[in-house]
Structure 1
Amino acid sequence: MSELMSSIDQRTQLVGENRLELLLFKLGTRHTFALNVFKVREVITVPFMNQIPGAHKNLKGVTNYRGASIPIIDLRAAIGIKLTSDNYEPENVIITEYNRSVQGFLIGKVMHIINTSWSDIQPPPTVAGKNNYLTAITDIQINDSSELVEIIDVEKVLAEIVEYDTSISDDVLDTEISAHLNGKKILVVDDSATAHWQIRETLSQLGLEIIAVNDGLKALNLLRKWADEGKTVTDEIVMMFTDAEMPEMDGYRLTAEVRNDPRMSDLFIALNTSLSGSFNEAMVKKVGCNRFISKFQPDLLVEVVQQRMREILNT
């Protein structure tokens, strides 16, 4: 397993090229599921877990991982797949980092890693059941046949286990500036419905209206539509928050496209992503984002919006 994940550092160069690599695995069904490799720290065999009395039903326990206690979540149960056979036993744990936290997910068989393009990643169909926990889907070729791969919305899984507080600290809120934000609009680009909810619940407290789209290409088309209609993009929205990883077009490519269009090149863009670390800071500078924010930090969201409003008022 270590050989499978050993080259993750080299794989990070794909981010920003509108490409990604997916770790494929099974959950005891015929379906194939996936997570973005860039969010995976390691894949290990199922470790010893200490039980937590009164914990969420999908939290199977905690284990010691590199000197720290991390929660282990039953991914199959968390996305609503009912156990139809007594023969299924989790084989591995995917150690991931999301929203500045580390956790493990119980899974079945690990298959392999595929290299693909965000342009080949599509939003999931709007149907009930486990698809509520999918952030995207894609087709891959396995043994000369096409197979559907379902990419899991980990942020939604975590949001149902960890309660997120969207309140704003009193010492962060600038009532004078927030008065100018009332009724203004912000564009939020993210493929996670949970992320949309978090930002809307936070920034609506300032009277802001949220325009939400779920991929970079839709956002770019919307901005171009305004520009084609003769509208000034910065009059339509105060700023844009964008995720890094999305179907059709990632946030890095979106930012680069905006910067290359003189009709919208001065739009304030904040990268708001569950990915963390110095890599994103470097990518922000490379593509021209104004800020980088690791999810989910309501006070920091508010600080960024208020600072942008101060800049607008001072021009």
Structure 2
Amino acid sequence: MLKPNKDSGFAHLSKIHPCLGGEAHHNFGRIHLPVSPACNIQCKFCKRDCNSNEERPGVANGILDPKDAVDTVRRALELCPQITVVGIAGPGDTLATPQAIETFKLVDKAYPDLVKCLSTNGLLLERYAQDIYDAGVRTITVTVNGVDPKIQSKIISHIVLDGKIYHGEEAADILIKAQLRGIAKISSLGVVVKVNSVLIPTVNDEHIEEIAKTVKEAGATLYNIIPLIPQHDLSHIPAPTCEQLDKARVIAEKYLGVFRHCKHCRADACGIPGKEDLSLKLYGVINERLETFSHG
């Protein structure tokens, strides 16, 4: 089966995907379906919570059942006809449980013309790359905060892989290698890969060039550097300044195109980024409480 050309695909997608292109960011919307309940890594900046008032990743009102996804997309399009993207960004990791892929299959059948976009920490990306592609996903975001185990071990507390918990540099090494293999495999299928990095002063702020170079070699097309939200185990580290953020982006731009419009979206965001968030109108309050979260 022929696969789409990734470069030509990106040129088209960047015009209609609000998280890939600046012009699209201001004119098109996305709907995030919060169907993923669990996470397989613990980031030190990840604060678990369930509410309707914080605008950040890893937060949603509750978990949506995959069987309700198609109707949710229909209602989202009624609220915001400019929606072009159906995304799943948590609130846990999208590949830690089967709900995300199951949801994309249902949505792709009902809305084949909408762009499907998945966000993941990448630990299981290689394992599920073909399933992701077969479910209609053509854009993916992988959060890579370090490609050196010594640095990555300062950012994650542990990972859980096939029922076993790993800590420290061993966990970091497993995660990094899995991320890079996953990026290589999914990009080889023609899927556009954007890499997110959380910029953490004194931890990975001098490491961005190495990340950009490494993920580019693995097959990434676009880079998004977002500022740390000081919380959880990294609450003592201040958010990067505008100058630090700009410096990192300029350095990264030597290797990859850099997306500069990220809004730290919730896992149940709906609408055009930066404008009215329609998630409460769409979801109300879902009764099932969340158990685990991922920064995504």
Which TM-score applies when normalising by structure 1?
A: 0.28
Which TM-score applies when normalising by structure 2?
A: 0.29
Structure (1 or 2) with the greater strand fraction:
1
Which structure has the larger Rg over C-alpha atoms?
1
